[in-house]
Amino acid sequence: MARFDKIKELRVEHITKRFPGVLASDDISLTVGEHQILALVGENGAGKTTLMNMIMGLYQPDEGKIFINGEEVSLKTPNDAFDCGIGMVHQQYMLVPNMTVLENIALGMKKSWKGIKVDLAMVRKQIEEISGKYGLAVDPDAFIWQLAVGEQQRVELVKTLCLGAKFLILDEPTSALTPQETDELIALLKSMSSELSIIFISHKLNEVKALSDRVSILRHGKVVFEGSTADYTSKQIAALMTGHEVEVNANTDEPSKGEDSLVIKDLCVRSDRGFLALDNFNLSIRSGEIVGLAGVSGNGQRELAEAINGIRKVESGTITFQGKQIQNLTPGQVIATGMGYIPEERNTEGIVPSMSIKENIILKDSESDTFSKNHILKNGVIEDTAGRLRTEFDIRCPGIHTAAGSLSGGNIQKVILAREISRKPKFLVCVYPIRGLDMGAAEFIHMELLKLRKSGVGILLISEELEEIMNLSDRIAVIFKGKNQKVLSRDEATTEKLGILMAGVKEDE
Amino acid sequence: MNNYKLVYKIAVVAVAVLIALLVGAAIIIAVGGDVFATYWIIISMPFKNFRSLSEVLIRMIPLLIVALGIAVSSRSGIINIGAEGQMYMGIIAATAIATNCGSLPKIIVVPMCIIAGGIAGGLYGFIPGWLKAKLEVSELLSTVMLNYVATQFFNFCIRVPLLDPMEKSGTPMSRRVAENATLSRLFRGSSLHQGIFLAIILVVVIYILLFKTTWGYKMRAAGASERAARYGGINVSKYLIISMVISGACAGMAGAVELMGVQGRAVAGMTGGYGFSGVVVALFGALHPLWIVPASFFFGILLYSQVNLQILTSVPPNLVKALQGLIILIIVAVQMVINNPYSIERFRKRFFAGREMKKTEKEA
């Protein structure tokens, strides 16, 4: 049974945690009061998740104490944290896809286990109670695999609340959500704060502004700033987070007058599940131009990127690149035409995770005269190139022999970017380039994309982040159910207009 | 590498070996053997004299060649457990030439036999490779099934087309290979034959292929992440098939070497399970051509000890097979533990934390 009826205050004092070679938490003190929402922000690797894992009993601090309502608690396992009424929703959802919502929630609820039987009726009652109380609609009999990501997250919330959580920790809750789902979640959490206290980890500052009462900024394991959110602008918080003024990289140049570089005409492509993911899709992009493709993910973006790059079969229609048709060429042939591609799945597709940075740099060019002769690799040249790109692109790693998969997301993206840009592409397809990256890395990547545009390369920028698209693009297209809704110029586009188009409504209707 | 990590790895391997020895000891006691005597025979006999060391080496040669091929295919993302069948196919081809072309000079006929063995094994490796690349047939299924086919085809061959007409005892076997087609022994009084040169050459060739050429690079990329390799413009199917052909060719050559250097004629069961042990050797050698050399030597010792145990003790020689099985299990377990960051961290905390703290204090 829960140890505390109410959590009036959670306080951590002087918490220090060391990992080999890293001081993950350095004398951290924080306080969260009743009905408060604390935003914990910081770049990747600042120690946010480590701190939360200590509150959840997954790690033990080397030094320091945790207090609830002024009473010292010792949290040795996640069960201790549950008993105190603390619950956490992780970044990766912990749900069994082929079980129902009801079964998933019963899975963690020890009090529903009656010998060899599970008291599902009791669990169902509790779910109804919780969803009624907080306005969290879930269908207990739906299977997890049937649910969209946003719905799965609601299930995670209900699960945590059913376990009796009175204090919620949310680790980057919006990282996998669409803009609409994000807005819903923020409204929901705001209303829930009348019952609960919440710590939420994020590096999206507009969410921090919209949701939190207080904000704490971590950098290199230290709290470098604490304050009331309302007193600071996003820009000030961003500067405190990165330690320097953050420049928003915006494309303010005249729209490109270059020739058409990539022309997509009446393209039809099937998804893995067999339906038409692209349905007579049309779009053309000039050289020296960034065209942003906005849309809720799952509307054909992945299939478009794969079709252009020869990874997915084209059913009908044409893709013309620099005057030549490239549909249904092999990936190798498309690469040879000068196409660059930053894929959505950077960890599994953009790099070979178990190979070194050096080996990943030559992924597309092992047979080029630069890197090999008569099929024998030129190790010296490869090492020099990798070393040079490491400095040029500020890839933070122990060395070029480090396995690429062991790097952080931002550095993996820099490896991919270094490879793609150093190949001097004539065109670049760029899919969700900053998803999950911290501001420093995102800023760097945007800067590089703008540089590339200036040098006359056409870029197709597929993204869900409207802010990113509106800052960088010359023109903006909106994809919905595999069709190009409309193409707007940079000046015409507003968040509202794009939002409406993304939802599938045409303006003139 | 950090100090404590190296200590950790050595400690894990030491513990693993100890566990293998202890469980092995339990089995020896259970069958009524003398633990120390048995282990002493296994460890000391190979080094008694040059003749016994040669016995280890001639077992090591086919193991090494098969394992090199397994390393190529495994690194390319396909697990070849069909080496046994590919060996048989290699033996059939090599026998056909070695028994019929004895009139040619040795310098021609020996390479011809080995190459024929390689081609036959390679073609037989091509089948599961093609099936996987084009039709996504699991190689576990196809290679095991093709082993049965090859074994029976071999049994047919030594009974009908390759049967020795002079053989009256009723044991099906081929004619002896021609004198000009044998791999000569290197020293008087030792069974070590010229096949060891082929093994050494192949170690170097496979090492260069895997790590120094663009082909090896692409094979490794395709094996490590098919998706990323495809993204990078690598023709994954092509390299999958090539790797299986190389793997099969190695097994086929190992068969030819066993025929020409040891057995002298094709007889039933002559692969001696090298095709399967080769998989273990390759894994034990971390799929690296250079590490596979000591790994195959170690397994050569184990195989040779079967002979000695039979002669010198009452312990059944199959005990060695049980030990092999234990070693496989322990390798798998060790691989789980040895790179687990949490265990490393716990180890550091327990044995190294105090020392580090003192160091930081000093620095401060």
Model confidence pLDDT, tens digit, residues B163-222:
888 877 778 899 999 988 899 899 888 889 999 999 999 999 999 999 999 999 999 999
Q: Which residues contact A228 (CB under 8 A, 6 or more apart)?
A: A213, A214, A215
Q: Which residues share a beta bridge with A17?
A: A25
Residues of chain B in contact with residue A333, where contact means CB-CB under 8 angstroms, are 233
pLDDT at B140 over 70: yes
pLDDT at A460 over 50: yes
**Maximum average pLDDT range among A164-173, A266-275, B89-98:** B89-98
CATH topology of domain A9-242: Rossmann fold (3.40.50)
* Cβ separation A336–B229 shorter than 8 A: no
Q: Which helix (H) or strand (E) holds A364?
A: none
pLDDT of amino acid B349:
67
CA distance B117 to chain A (A): 26
Nearest residue, CB atoms, B221 vs list A331, A334, A363: A363
Give the residue-averaged pLDDT of A225-235: 86
User: pLDDT tens for residues A318-341?
Assistant: 999 999 999 999 999 999 999 999
pLDDT at B356 over 60: no
A30-A34-A37-A42 Cα dihedral, nearest 10 degrees: 10
Question: What's the CA gap between A491 and A330, in Å, rounded?
Answer: 38
Partner B contacted by A62 (CB < 8 A): no
pLDDT of amino acid B360:
47
Residue A81: what residue type? A
pLDDT at B359 over 60: no
Q: What is the CA radius of gyration of chain B?
A: 23
pLDDT of amino acid B205:
97
pLDDT at A275 over 90: no
pLDDT of amino acid A311:
94
Question: What's the CA gap between B209 and B289, in Å, rounded?
Answer: 10
* Cβ separation B225–A348 shorter than 8 A: yes
Question: What's the CA gap between B296 and B280, in Å, rounded?
Answer: 9
Mutate to test the interface with A, among B1, B209, B225 (most CBs of A within 10 A): B225
pLDDT of amino acid B317:
77
Nearest residue, CB atoms, B233 vs list A331, A376, A377: A331
> What pTM was estimated for this model as a whole?
0.80
| Domain residue limits, chain A | 9-242, 249-338+425-509, 353-422
Band of residue B342 on the pLDDT scale cut at 50, 70, 90: low
Question: What's the CA gap between A372 and A370, in Å, rounded?
Answer: 6
Residue A485: what residue type? Q
User: pLDDT tens for residues B271-321?
Assistant: 888 999 999 899 888 899 999 999 999 899 988 988 888 888 777 877 777
Question: What's the CA gap between A430 and B82, in Å, rounded?
Answer: 43
Question: What's the CA gap between A358 and A346, in Å, rounded?
Answer: 16
DSSP-assigned letter for residue A350? I
A6-A11-A16-A20 Cα dihedral, nearest 10 degrees: 30
CA distance B37 to chain A (A): 44
pLDDT of amino acid B1:
47
Please list the helix, strand and coil fractions of chain B in percent, rounded to the nearest 5, in that order.
75, 0, 20
Residue A329, token pair as written in the block: 């060429």
CATH topology of domain B56-300: ABC transporter involved in vitamin B12 uptake, BtuC (1.10.3470)
Residue A487, token pair as written in the block: 């193409």
Residues of chain B in contact with residue A348, where contact means CB-CB under 8 angstroms, are 225, 227-228
User: pLDDT tens for residues A413-440?
Assistant: 999 999 999 999 999 999 999 887 877 8
> Is the complex ipTM higher than 0.85?
no
pLDDT of amino acid A384:
95
Alpha helices in B213-317 (DSSP H): 214-224, 226-231, 236-258, 274-284, 289-312
Mutate to test the interface with A, among B214, B219, B344 (most CBs of A within 10 A): B214
Mutate to test the interface with B, among A272, A349, A357 (most CBs of B within 10 A): A349
Partner B contacted by A431 (CB < 8 A): no
* Cβ separation A311–B229 shorter than 8 A: no
pLDDT of amino acid B221:
96
pLDDT of amino acid B354:
56
* Cβ separation A352–B212 shorter than 8 A: no
Question: What's the CA gap between A82 and A56, in Å, rounded?
Answer: 8
How many other C-beta atoms are found inside a 10 Å radius of the C-beta of residue B70? 26
Give the residue-averaged pLDDT of A488-508: 82
- The CATH architecture annotation of domain A249-338+425-509 reads 3-Layer(aba) Sandwich (3.40)
Nearest residue, CB atoms, B221 vs list A331, A345, A355: A355
Residues of chain A in contact with residue B234, where contact means CB-CB under 8 angstroms, are 332, 363
Q: Which helix (H) or strand (E) holds B45?
A: none
Half-sphere exposure of A325 (CA within 13 A, CB side): 8
Question: Chain A, 21-40: which have a CB under 8 Å from a chain B CB?
Answer: none
DSSP-assigned letter for residue B180? G
Band of residue A466 on the pLDDT scale cut at 50, 70, 90: confident
pLDDT at A90 over 80: yes
User: pLDDT tens for residues A116-130?
Assistant: 888 888 999 999 988
Count H helices and E strands in chain B, helices first: 15, 0
CB pairs under 8 A between A and B: 78
pLDDT of amino acid A245:
66
Question: What's the CA gap between A222 and A208, in Å, rounded?
Answer: 19
Among A82, A134, A131, smallest CA distance to A108 is for A82
User: pLDDT tens for residues B9-33?
Assistant: 778 777 877 888 888 888 888 888 8
The mean predicted confidence, pLDDT, of chain B is 88
Angle at alpha carbon of residue B69, lines to B264 and B124, rounded to 5°? 70
Greater model confidence, A44 or B130 = B130
* B170 Rama class: left (phi>0) / alpha (psi -120 to 50) / beta: left
Q: Which residues contact A289 (CB under 8 A, 6 or more apart)?
A: A255, A256, A258, A261, A453, A458, A459, A474, A475
pLDDT of amino acid A1:
44
Q: Which of A141-145, A197-201, B342-346 has the lowest mean pLDDT?
A: B342-346
CB A74 within 8 A of CB A54: no
Does this chain's domain A9-242 share its CATH topology with A249-338+425-509?
yes
Q: Which helix (H) or strand (E) holds A193?
A: none
Residues of chain A with pLDDT > 90: what percent?
A: 38
CA distance B130 to chain A (A): 19
Band of residue A237 on the pLDDT scale cut at 50, 70, 90: confident
| Domain residue limits, chain B | 1-33+314-364, 56-300
**Closest chain B CA to residue A368:** B214
CA distance A258 to chain B (A): 28
B→A interface, C-beta within 8 Å = 2, 212-215, 217-218, 220-221, 224-225, 227-235, 344-345, 348
**Closest chain B CA to residue A379:** B212
Residue A202, token pair as written in the block: 């994020």
Greatest CA span in chain A, whole angstroms?
74
CA distance A228 to chain B (A): 36
Mutate to test the interface with B, among A352, A368, A406 (most CBs of B within 10 A): A352
* Cβ separation A350–B231 shorter than 8 A: yes
pLDDT of amino acid B200:
97
Q: Which residues contact A201 (CB under 8 A, 6 or more apart)?
A: A39, A40, A41, A48, A49, A52, A169, A170, A171, A172
